[in-house]
Amino acid sequence: MSLSVENLRIAYRSRSGDVCAVDDVSFTVADGEIMGLAGESGSGKSTLGNSLVYLENRMKQLGGRVELDGKELPITDFRGMRAYRMAEVSLVPQYAMNALNPTRRIGKITSDLLRSHGVRANGVLEEMKRRIRLVGLDEDVLGKYSFELSGGMRQRVTIILSTLLNPSLLVADEVTSALDVSTQRAVGEMLIEFRDRGFVKSLIAITHDLSILAQIADTIMIMYAGRLAEKASTDTIINAPLHPYTQMLLASLPEVGVRHDQTTLTGIPGRPPSLASPPAGCRFRDRCPFARERCATSPPFEEVKPGHHVACWKVSEGWAA
């Protein structure tokens, strides 16, 4: 499996005009790769993840293309995408674990979902039970209502459901948020195990929590105000980031092992620009300590070292710090 996204632009229709939440985004995800997608709230992470699987009515594609295994995904064709959803590309939407229908048992939710994708539940029931046991749950969860399950149990169930047909790509949006730290770790390990067992070939794990990505991701991509700032191996992003935003984002995190109440988070002064009327040039310009005249022009998202992409003039033109 390989995902290739080229110059993708996705906007929300609004009364005051289009709000372009994903603006000229290009990247690839390789076979077997777990790519973490991080960035602060409102940077467009969910919009990007959703657009690959489930482009809602209020969203529209302004440009670009998405290819899976060299074949273009018809992302604007809601019906056409039915042939791909769940079987090829699958999504655990943000807040999914709270959206499970409370009036239906998990088993019924599963069979309804499968039927809506033209799959008979009986054919995959044994496999579902096997995977439920594999993640440490009891198969009697199938007879329970969602409100009878803990957050961690619900999250495991939604991930099992979304990967039951062994999709090439899973987009998992904030699946570890709202869980306690040890459950976060267990759900993270489950994602790695599902990839290793081939239940899903590649993954985009969306979160604003870089510490969970340090645990599970092979690569990390950082978004800022609808654009890509940086993508590299997890080790490079954590230990040798090049984009000033990534550097400041990491500097604002407590060190591993340091308790939050023992340290002060630096934070990044200022706010991201409005996506309804973004300024020209680099979108981080107002907050960047290195900004120069040059930054009034948009920096390209370029490969500056093998496998390391950055959108910053300081990096691509080699300015001294």
Ligand X SMILES: Nc1ncnc2c1ncn2[C@@H]1O[C@H](COP(=O)(O)OP(=O)(O)OP(=O)(O)O)[C@@H](O)[C@H]1O
313 binds, among Mg ion, ligand X, ligand SF4, none (CB under 5 to 8 A by kind): ligand SF4
Nearer to ligand SF4, 3 or 315 (CB): 315
Structure tokens given for 294: 């040059």
Contact 314, 245 (CB under 8 A): no
162 binds, among ligand SF4, Mg ion, ligand X, none (CB under 5 to 8 A by kind): none
Nearer to Mg ion, 94 or 163 (CB): 94
Q: Which H or E run contains 19?
A: strand 19-29
Residue 1's Cβ-count burial label (10 Å; 0-12, 13-18, 19+) is middle
Scan for tokens 């500056």, then name that residue.
304
The mark string for 21-60 relative to Mg ion (x by CB under 5 A, - otherwise) is -------------------------x--------------
What are the φ/ψ torsions at residue 258 (nearest 5 degrees)? -95, 130
Alpha carbon separation from 4 to 67, 71, 275 (Å, rounded)? 5, 10, 24
Structure tokens given for 5: 């996204």
Taking the CA atoms of residue 175, residue 164, residue 113 and residue 202 in that order, the dihedral angle to the nearest 10 degrees is: 50
The minimum distance between CB 296 and ligand SF4, in angstroms, equals 9
244 binds, among Mg ion, ligand X, ligand SF4, none (CB under 5 to 8 A by kind): ligand SF4
185 binds, among ligand SF4, ligand X, Mg ion, none (CB under 5 to 8 A by kind): none
Residue closest to 275 by CA, chosen among 10, 21, 59? 21
43 binds, among Mg ion, ligand X, ligand SF4, none (CB under 5 to 8 A by kind): ligand X
Amino acid at 282: C
Range list of β-strands (E), 128-282: 169-173, 202-206, 219-224, 227-233
299 binds, among Mg ion, ligand SF4, ligand X, none (CB under 5 to 8 A by kind): ligand SF4
Residues that bind ligand SF4 (CB under 6 A): 244, 282, 284-285, 288, 290-291, 295, 299, 312-314
Instruction: Give, as one character, the DSSP assignment of residue 99.
Output: -
**Site residues for Mg ion, window 94-113 (CB under 5 A)?**
94
The minimum distance between CB 243 and ligand X, in angstroms, equals 17
CA atoms within 13 Å, Cβ hemisphere of 111: 12
301 binds, among Mg ion, ligand X, ligand SF4, none (CB under 5 to 8 A by kind): none
Structure tokens given for 284: 């981080």
Q: Binders of Mg ion: how many residues, by CB under 5 A?
A: 2
Residues that bind ligand X (CB under 6 A): 12, 14, 19, 21, 39, 41-47, 58, 94, 208, 275
The minimum distance between CB 145 and ligand X, in angstroms, equals 27
- Applying CB under 5 A, which residues contact Mg ion? 46, 94
